[in-house]
């Protein structure tokens, strides 16, 4: 049997509950894979590489093109994608795309299903090169599914999955067993450009001691947040989310729209806490709430799109 002529991959989006941006500097983060997925199909036998019937565009399809360069080469492929996730919405669509492209390219090349660790490392590399800086957070949670904690060293009670090093930083990627966490994601409708926001925070961290202190404070708060969520203490977890949002504001990635949505969410009975999720500068807000339907209705009254999300144990999948 020759190599496969087609590969189909899918991977979940994610929300970061605690620790975005700080995780780029080696601090801990906690994320949940979502029950909303990205799907990609890649087939050989094309005349030129196309994405959803358009020629591959290195700017528009930067993540996809980078993963193909690293794991496939330049032989033409016909690629189609489908997504349940808002694009550039802070819920991990670029990471899920990088995971799917990496998994599909490796499957087409070898005819084998790559291991989760191989896909997570490969997709991180593709994101890192595309963004100029990144942590393995999004690509690891999208590969592994479930609840994932990144920290410099192994945390008590968590199961290590893999360890990724880059320069002088190292992240131990770990599985945490959590009861379902009731969340609502609200979208601002403004695109969040991860590379831009990561570069902005980097400039601030290099210049301002206060920004470096905010990064460390996010790291400490994340570990408290993991304990609170594990203990089912949502009131405490919510307060920590509010504080995390303030620290992200200090890092310059909050926007008036995100701040407005956070304020509105906190005023709705049943809300424990709210923060921006992902890179910020637009994108989405994540809210911990015991009254998801009421919150979704309150957002609707404000003309804001929101949806209740559930965490999902399912990580990437690839078949031929």
Catalytic residues: 138
Which H/E stretch holds residue 36? Answer: strand 29-43
**Of the candidates 10, 135, 244, 271, which one interacts with ligand PMV according to CB under 6 A?**
135
Helices (H), the chain: 62-71, 93-110, 116-131, 137-144, 194-207, 209-230, 234-250, 256-266, 292-301
35 neighbors 145 (Cβ within 8 angstroms): no
Of the two residues 23 and 264, which places its CB atom closer to ligand PMV in the complex? 23
Q: Which of residues 15-54 bind ligand PMV (CB under 6 A)?
A: 20-21, 23-24
Number of residues that bind ligand PMV (CB under 6 A): 17
Q: Should residue 296 be labelled a site residue for ligand PMV when binding is judged by CB under 6 A? A: no
Please state the closest distance from residue 149 (CB atom) to ligand PMV, in A: 13
**Of the candidates 12, 146, 273, 278, which one interacts with ligand PMV according to CB under 6 A?**
278
Q: Should residue 252 be labelled a site residue for ligand PMV when binding is judged by CB under 6 A? A: no
Q: How is residue 230 written in tokens?
A: 């594990």
The vertex-38 CA angle with 34 and 43, nearest 5°, equals 155
List the end-to-end C-alpha distance of the chain, in Å, as a whole number.
13
Q: Should residue 125 be labelled a site residue for ligand PMV when binding is judged by CB under 6 A? A: no
Instruction: Please list the residues that pair with 30 across neighbouring strands.
Output: 18, 149
Q: Should residue 134 be labelled a site residue for ligand PMV when binding is judged by CB under 6 A? A: yes
In the complex, which residues of this chain contact ligand PMV (CB under 6 A)?
A: 20-21, 23-24, 90, 92, 94, 134-135, 137-138, 192, 194, 198, 278-279, 283
């Amino acid at each position: 049997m020759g190599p496969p002529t087609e590969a189909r991959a899918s991977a979940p989006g994610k929300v970061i509950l605690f620790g975005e941006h700080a995780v780029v500097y080696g601090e801990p983060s906690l994320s949940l894979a979502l029950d909303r997925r990205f799907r990609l199909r890649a087939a050989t036998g094309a005349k030129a590489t196309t994405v959803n019937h358009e020629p591959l565009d290195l700017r528009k399809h930067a993540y996809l093109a980078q993963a193909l360069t690293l794991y496939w080469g330049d032989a033409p492929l016909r690629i189609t994608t489908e997504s349940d996730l808002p694009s550039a919405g802070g819920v991990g669509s670029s990471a899920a795309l990088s995971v799917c492209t990496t998994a599909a390219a490796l499957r087409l090349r070898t005819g084998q299903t790559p291991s989760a660790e191989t896909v997570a490392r490969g997709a991180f590399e593709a994101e890192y090169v595309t963004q100029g800086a990144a942590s393995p957070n999004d690509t690891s949670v999208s590969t592994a599914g479930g609840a994932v904690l990144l920290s410099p060293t192994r945390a008590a009670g968590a199961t290590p999955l893999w360890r990724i090093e880059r320069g002088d930083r190292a992240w131990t990627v770990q599985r945490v067993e959590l009861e379902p966490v009731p969340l609502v994601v609200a979208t601002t409708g403004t695109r969040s450009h991860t590379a831009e926001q990561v570069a902005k925070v980097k400039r601030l961290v290099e210049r301002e001691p206060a920004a470096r202190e905010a990064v460390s404070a996010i790291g400490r708060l994340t570990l408290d947040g993991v304990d609170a969520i594990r203990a089912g203490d949502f009131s405490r977890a919510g307060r920590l989310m509010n504080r995390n949002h303030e620290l992200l504001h200090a890092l310059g990635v909050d926007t008036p729209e995100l701040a407005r949505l956070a304020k509105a969410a906190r005023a709705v009975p049943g809300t424990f806490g709210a923060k921006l999720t992902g890179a910020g500068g637009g994108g989405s807000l994540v809210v911990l709430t015991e009254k998801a339907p009421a919150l979704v209705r309150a957002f609707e009254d404000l003309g804001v799109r929101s949806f209740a999300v559930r965490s999902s144990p399912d990580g990437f999948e690839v078949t031929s």
